């Protein structure tokens, strides 16, 4: 049976890798992006066009845009992958309220709203997959990334709580928590310093995150529930 997967944040480095991996696995995709239209155009050329059901644009920092996205989805949604995110680097006391609001909405409220919208149908069908891409900072916290660490910690708590609530309805809720992955979002970081602390002595690959998502999507992973799987190369900052 065909499974339709909504991927929020499909145009980013990790989102693109996940999209291509799930297309190769035979899933049909509903792809979301916000500003990176060119990256989305490129992604579409790298995926079998028969695997793409719909492409939607939405700014997930605004409730009105989130509601519009949900209303625009015209296909059943069997799984949701939350990849959308942006880092915020700087001292906490320099963070503006507008920046706080944007981070909270993108990482916490938007996933709440999207999940709330599609969850009743998953419960009716007694099946579904919900997967978040969180961050190692949601578990251990990071200096100069206090707001980002906070919202990723909130995602971790949401995953664990929702997994308990919807598990009896046959819906799995899990997360992949990357450490240092070689993406655009990490370009501001001094790579050599971090890599020297990683036991595998290298940054992670977006494909390695995508492989873990593919594993969680497989029915062989159905007994995994409420887990946050670290992809960190053994890094424990």
Q: Could you tell me where the DSSP H helices lie in 5-51?
A: 13-24, 37-45
Q: Residue 88: helix, strand or coil by DSSP?
A: coil
Q: Where are the alpha helices (DSSP H) in the chain?
A: 13-24, 37-45, 63-72, 97-104, 110-125, 137-140, 146-166, 191-195, 206-217
Active-site residue identified among 33, 117, 148, 223: 148
Neighbours of 177 (CB within 10 A): 24
3-state secondary structure of 57: strand
**Crossing angle of helices 206-217/13-24, nearest 10°?**
50
Alpha-carbon distances, residue 16 vs 19, 20, 34, 83, 97 (angstroms): 5, 6, 13, 10, 31
Residue for token pair 């992949």: 176
27: annotated active-site residue:
no
d(CA 27, CA 74): 16
Q: Which of 228, 1, 8, 237 has its CA nearest to residue 111?
A: 8
Cβ within 8 Å of residue 237, ≥6 positions away: 136, 140, 142, 197
Active-site positions? 148
């Amino acid at each position: 049976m065909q499974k339709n997967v909504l991927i929020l944040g499909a145009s980013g480095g990790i989102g693109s890798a996940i999209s291509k991996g799930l297309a190769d696995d035979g899933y049909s995709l509903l792809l979301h992006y916000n500003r990176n239209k060119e990256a989305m155009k490129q992604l579409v050329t790298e995926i079998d066009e028969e695997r793409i059901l719909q492409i939607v644009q939405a700014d997930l920092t605004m409730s009105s845009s989130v509601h519009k996205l949900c209303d625009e989805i015209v296909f059943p949604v069997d799984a949701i992958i939350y990849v959308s995110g942006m880092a915020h680097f700087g001292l906490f006391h320099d963070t503006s309220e507008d920046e706080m609001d944007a981070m909270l909405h993108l990482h916490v409220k938007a996933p709440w709203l999207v999940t709330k919208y599609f969850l009743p149908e998953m419960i009716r069908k007694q099946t579904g997959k919900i997967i978040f891409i969180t961050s190692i900072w949601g578990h251990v916290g990071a200096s100069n990334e206090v707001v980002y660490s906070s919202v990723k910690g909130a995602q971790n708590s949401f995953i664990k709580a929702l997994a308990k609530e919807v598990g009896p309805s046959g819906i799995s809720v899990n997360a992949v928590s990357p450490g240092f992955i070689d993406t655009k979002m990490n370009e501001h970081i001094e790579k050599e310093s971090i890599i020297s602390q990683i036991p595998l002595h290298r940054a992670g690959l977006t494909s390695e995150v995508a492989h873990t998502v593919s594993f969680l999507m497989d029915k062989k992973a159905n007994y995994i529930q409420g887990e946050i799987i670290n992809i960190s190369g053994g890094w424990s900052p």
